[in-house]
Structures are given as structure tokens and as C-alpha cells.
Amino acid sequence: MSRDAIKHAALELFQRYSYLKTSVEDIARTAGIGKGSVYLAFKTKEDILLSLLEDDLQTLYDRCEVFFFDPQQPVEAKMERFAQDLFDFLFQIRDLMFGSLENVYGRELQDVYVKFSVHLDNAAERWVKVLALHGWKPSLELNQQVRELILFLSGRFLVYIVTHDWSQREQIKAQIPRWSTRLFRAFTTDV
């Protein structure tokens, strides 16, 4: 049984029932294999989830590469697109992990963040390259500022979804241009 077949079965179950309510036994049953075969391919259920998310993140990077590194595109448009993609990705994590707000436990959020923090660093490095196309000088300070900007965008999104109905994605997406513009202006304005 291939890793892809296991991931396909897991994705189907995570989308239907959530990561938290899906067991390795459920994944094996859906894939038509024994539980031990799943453990031969992946050490844990969490590894399956992280592999799915990494695949989606790579697809996102591939899809956006041309747009983000086109010097003709305004940096503000890139920031808005990045914010939209970030929010879509965070929603996907939320959907796969929890399904609904009642299923959210702080420890699971912390575990996912710790495992995925390296991707924040990668996103910051990519953004420094994008900003260099628009005249910024790459530096450790710029990298740290970009990382903070990404965290602020993520935090703004999380505050909104915690205080509103999670099913109102279109209302949230309508806020993205305003949030990204304000944060980017704050980021680029000298105090």
C-alpha cells in the first residue's frame, strides 16, 4: 500500500469526521489494509496529517510562485493574495483537525503550531525575496519583521473566527483586503 493511498483515505476521513475523531484503525479500514501497514508508512496519525498539509503547502507555493516573483505586480497585491492564501490554508487546517469549535483543544493547536513553525520561517524567507524585488534590502531584521507580519495576519484571522461563526468564510474573506492593507501599511511605515 502506498503512502499516497493511506493519505487519500486519511484525508477523506479527516474531512468527514475530523482528525481528532479519526483513528489509525479507521484509516486502515478505509484504505483496505491492516493497521500495521499504516504504521509502516507513517509513525503516527499526526505524521499523516502533517504530510497532507505539507503537500497542500507545496501546491500553494507552486501555484503562487510566478505571481509573487513578478516584479510588475504591486507588493500590496502580493500581500493581499498571501493573506487570502494564508487564511484558506488556516481554514483547511481547522477543517481537518477539528471540524467544529467544540473539538478544539489547546494542546492540539500547540502541537500543530510547533510542527509547522518551520513553514513560517520558510514563508518569511520567501517574502524577503519578494520584497527584495521591490527595493527592500534583505536582512535578519527584515526577515524577523516579515515573520511578525505573518503571525499578526494569522492572529487577526484566529481572533475573527473565534469571535464569529466559523461557517461564515465569505464574510471573513471580505475582510482580508482591509486587514492585509492595514498590516502592510503598519509594517512599511517608519515610526
Q: Residue 36's pLDDT is what?
A: 94
Residues 8 and 34 in one domain: yes
Residues 134 and 163 in one domain: yes
For residue range 130-176, list pLDDT tens digits in order: 889 888 888 888 888 888 888 888 777 777 766 777 677 788 788 88
* Residue with the larger pLDDT of the pair 155 and 31: 31
Residues 175 and 83 in one domain: yes
Residues 94 and 131 in one domain: yes
Q: At what angle do helices 24-31 and 45-68 cross, to 10 degrees?
A: 70
Q: Residue 25's pLDDT is what?
A: 96
Residues 158 and 95 in one domain: yes
Binned at pLDDT 50, 70 and 90, residue 10 comes out as very high
Residues 35 and 73 in one domain: no
Q: What CATH number should be reported for the domain holding residue 32?
A: 1.10.10.60
Residues 126 and 175 in one domain: yes
Residues 12 and 71 in one domain: no
pTM value is: 0.68
Residues 135 and 151 in one domain: yes
Count of domains observed in the chain:
2
Residues 28 and 122 in one domain: no
Residues 126 and 174 in one domain: yes
User: Where in the sequence is the domain holding 14, given as residue range(s)?
Assistant: 3-41
- Whether residue 12 has pLDDT greater than 60: yes
Binned at pLDDT 50, 70 and 90, residue 100 comes out as very low
- Whether residue 104 has pLDDT greater than 60: no
- Whether residue 108 has pLDDT greater than 70: no
Q: Residue 190's pLDDT is what?
A: 58
Binned at pLDDT 50, 70 and 90, residue 16 comes out as confident
Across 75-96, average pLDDT: 83
Residues 56 and 15 in one domain: no
